A and B are shown apart, each in its own frame.
Chain A
Amino acid sequence: MAAEAKPKGVDTTKNPIPFEMAQIPGPEMAKTYMPKVIGAIIKKSKRPLLVVGAELFDDPVMFDKMIEIGKMGVPIAATAHSVKGFVERGYLNNVYQIGLHPLTNNLRFSDWMGLDGQGQYDTVIFMGIFYKFANGMLSTLKNFNRDIRRISIDRYYHVNANMTFGNMAFTPDDYHAAIDELIAAMKK
């Protein structure tokens, strides 16, 4: 009897087109990865920082998923007014309120000591941020601090990241499943 095909999980490598189509920066563009690969990379990072924005309010379940990641020891930079979502859920342990702009300004300097004073981060993971703004901030890091790995786990293909999902903006169920797979990979 043939063994049942092992589920491969959600394919997050499809649709690698900038969510705003004209955002074509140049020769170096992001590659798409499967959730478990990104999860493993985050897990292996020594100083990861999860950066989340106000689009989480449009899909509130994402707050809970981000808190799950936070509870695994990944500090969270809550940009815009997204910290309110964490306040409402009573989770502020490793959540820092900071704008994406000043955060990125700090991230581009190798001598910045981080939100906790323990040193610069080696990986940033963007999620739930207004597309064009996130794209610009990733561009800053891409060009002015290449020591930081740039990961997007947003529902958009982020062209200036190193690692990203393809566009999943119109398949919310798949996207939620992808984030769950990523979290599961981090827990392994």
Chain B
Amino acid sequence: MFRNWMQRITLTDVVIWAIGLAILIGVIWGSIVTLGTGKYSTATWIDLTLIGLALGGVYALIALGYTLVYGILRMINFAHSEVFMSGPFTATFAAWALVGAGWWNKYPILSLLIVLGVSAVVSSIIAVLLERIAYRPLRTAPRLVPLITAIGASFFLQYVFRGLYGSGLKGYPEMTILQGFWMLGSIRVFKTQAVAIVGAVIMMLILYGIVQWTKLGKAMRSVSENKEVAALMGIDVDKTISRTFAIGGAAAGMAGILYLLLFPVAHFFMGFFPGLKAFTAAVLGGIGNVPGAFLGAMMLGLLESVGPSLFLDGLGIPAPYQLKDAIAFSVLVLILIFRPTGILGERLAQAKA
């Protein structure tokens, strides 16, 4: 028994586990040192946590698009970053138009809803067109083909939007009612962050409800299990896939507005990093799984914002905050090595058996 067990362990396993252990020790050691020095106050930790949650909410909404599309077509839609960029970029112009009309601060809630609507609709249309033009003709092709197409479509969309709106940075107008902060007891919460967190959670709940309880959601899940049998139930498979892209696109578009509340600058390349991070979040949570996307995104957001100060600072790394992206992508590598199914992936596999 023991000998069998010994034989199954290869050198690669040993090295990988050694690396994993070293990283774990580094993280714990760094955290102890940082907390021991008391360099950061409680208020700072709370601030970082709130930033992490807000970012996590944005990632969650984008990750939903990756996860739904993966669930239904078993493909990674790498152009989803650009779906995310197209809506908010367009909505920035709508926002300035509202500022010009004097509505922006006069009817702030209405304005915010208009901007959210514009963003969601544009992103949704782009996502649906993307599926119709770039992916549907390749549905029976080998899996590598749509993946490469997705990367091509991603570049295409970036440069179309650069051509349309210019390559410069475009500021997103601030709203007076969202300036400053609220006090929750002794905790100071920036209004933009509060809106981003609450908005993301509400939208995720609505989208989860759609997938779980509506006829469309059940049809989506049926198609993701077996397209042919779904068609035998009378489900229009093409239409269901289109609608999946529409929902994922709308979520990404709304995420874009929340993102602009946190980082008020729009440009044609703005989708790249949030898109990749949302993809990481989807993998972290277990791709194809909606609650997983939410969980993974929140964890990633927190790791990215709290992580640098917590464990990198303690290890004596200068300017640790510059390494937040490195943390996010290290998470992707580590999750693929140690738990490729993601956090909630196992339950999915069990249900399938």
Specify whether A and B are partners: no
B residues neighboring A (CB under 8 Å):
none
